[in-house]
Structure 1
Amino acid sequence: MKGIIFTEFLELVEEKFGLAMVDKIITQSELQSGGIYTSVGTYEFSEMLQLLTHLSENTDISKDDLLLVYSEHLFKALVRSHPNLVDHYKDPMDLLASIENHIHVEVQKIYPDAQLPTFELEDRNDDKMVMVYKSDKALYMLGKGLMQETFKLFKTPVEINLEKLNEAGTEVRFFINKA
C-alpha cells in the first residue's frame, strides 16, 4: 500500500484525536516499518489494518465510520496534490465512470506499484450508476466515502447504497443516484 495512504491517515488521526493517539496506535501495533512512513514508500496493508483497528478500539468509533471520515481527508489531500485528475470533469458521474480508464491510469503513472481496487461500471444513465468494487483489501467504505466526496466537490446531492457481494466485502455493488 502506498505511503501517502499512511501519511494522510496519521495526519488525520493527529488532527482529530491528537498526537498522543498517533503514538498510542503506533505503539499498540506490530509494524515492520516502525510506524515511519513516507508518502512515496510502499508498506504492507496489514500495517494500515492494525492502525485502523487500534484507532477504532481506542475511540469506540467503528472502522467503517473511521474510513468515511478518512475518505473526506484523503480526497481533499489528493485533489490538492493532483488537481489535474479532476479539473476537466464537469459532472461527478463522468468522473466516477472514468475511474478505471483515466483516474487509475494516471495514479499508476504517479505511483507505479500502487495496488488499486477495480471499479466495473455495470449500468449508467444521467442520474444513476451501478458500479462493482473489487479489492482483496475490502476497503469499500473508503471507496464509498471517496464517491461521496466527488459529489460534494461538484455540489451535487447524491444517495449511495451498497450491496456486499460476499461476506468479506472484497466485492461490493454500489448504487449511485443523484438526489
Structure 2
Amino acid sequence: MKGIVFTEFLDMVEEKFGLEVVDHIIEAANLKSGGVYTSVGTYDFLEMQSLLINLSERTNISLDDLIYNYGLYFFKVLTDHHPAIFSLYKDPLEMLASIESHIHVQVRKLYPGAELPTFKIVKKEDKFLEILYFSERAMYMFAKALMEKTFEHYHESATIELEKITDDGTQVRFLISTKNDCYTTNRHIKKSA
C-alpha cells in the first residue's frame, strides 16, 4: 500500500483525535516500519489494518465507520493533489464509470506499484450505475465515501446502496442512482452499512 494512504491517515487521526491517539495506535500496533511513512514509499497493508484496529479499540468507533470517514477525508487529498482529473469529466457518473479504464491507469502512473481495488461496470444508464468492487483489503466503505464526495464535488445528489456479495466485504455491489437536482446537503445521500 502506498505511503500517502498511511501519511494522510495519521494526519486525519491527529486532526480528529489528537497526537496522543496517533502515538498510542502506533505503539500498540508494533509496526515493522515503526510508524514512520513517506508518501512515496510502499508499506504492508497489515500495518494499516493494525492501525485501524487499534484506533477502533481506542475510540469505540467501528472499523467500517473509521474507513468510511477516512474516505471522506482522503477525497480532499485527491482534489488538492489532482484537481485536473475532475475537469476531464462532465458529471460524477461518467467519472465513476471510468475508474478502472482511466483513473486507475493514471494512478498507477503516478504511484507505480499501487495496489488498487478492481471495479467492474455491470450496467450504465443515464441516471444509474451498477459497479462491482473487488479487493482483498475489503475497504469498500472507503470507496463508498469517495463516490459520495464525487457527487458532492459535482454538486449533484445520488442514492448509493451497497450489497456485500461476500461476507468479508472483498466483493461488493454498488447501485448508484442520480437525482440530477442541485446538491445541497449530505442528507440527500442515502448511507448504507
- The separation in 2 between residues aligned to 1:136 and 1:67, in whole angstroms, is 15
- Which residue pairs with 1:96 in the alignment? 96
- Which residue pairs with 2:134 in the alignment? 134
- Which residue pairs with 1:10 in the alignment? 10
Percent identity of equivalent pairs: 53
Task: Give the secondary structure class of the aligned counterpart of 2:43.
Answer: coil
Tell me which amino acid in the other structure corresponds to 2:70: Y
Residue 72 of structure 2 corresponds to residue 72 of structure 1: yes
Q: TM-score, normalised by structure 1?
A: 0.98
- The separation in 2 between residues aligned to 1:158 and 1:30, in whole angstroms, is 41
Q: How does 1:33-48 map to 2 (within 5 A)?
A: 33-48=33-48
Deviations 1:96-120 (A, max 9, x none): 0000111000000001100000110
> How far did 1:85 drift?
1.9
**Retained in 2: the 8 A contact 1:133–1:170?**
yes
**Retained in 1: the 8 A contact 2:9–2:70?**
yes
* Count of matched residue pairs: 179
**Retained in 2: the 8 A contact 1:133–1:172?**
yes
Q: How does 1:100-179 map to 2 (within 5 A)?
A: 100-179=100-179
Structure 2 segments unaligned to the other structure (5+ residues): 180-193
Q: TM-score, normalised by structure 2?
A: 0.91
Q: How does 1:24-63 map to 2 (within 5 A)?
A: 24-63=24-63
- The separation in 1 between residues aligned to 2:25 and 2:39, in whole angstroms, is 19
Task: Give the secondary structure class of the aligned counterpart of 2:129.
Answer: strand
> How far did 1:83 drift?
1.2
**Retained in 1: the 8 A contact 2:6–2:48?**
yes
Computed over aligned residues only, the root mean square deviation of the Cα atoms, in angstroms, reads: 0.8
**Retained in 2: the 8 A contact 1:85–1:106?**
no
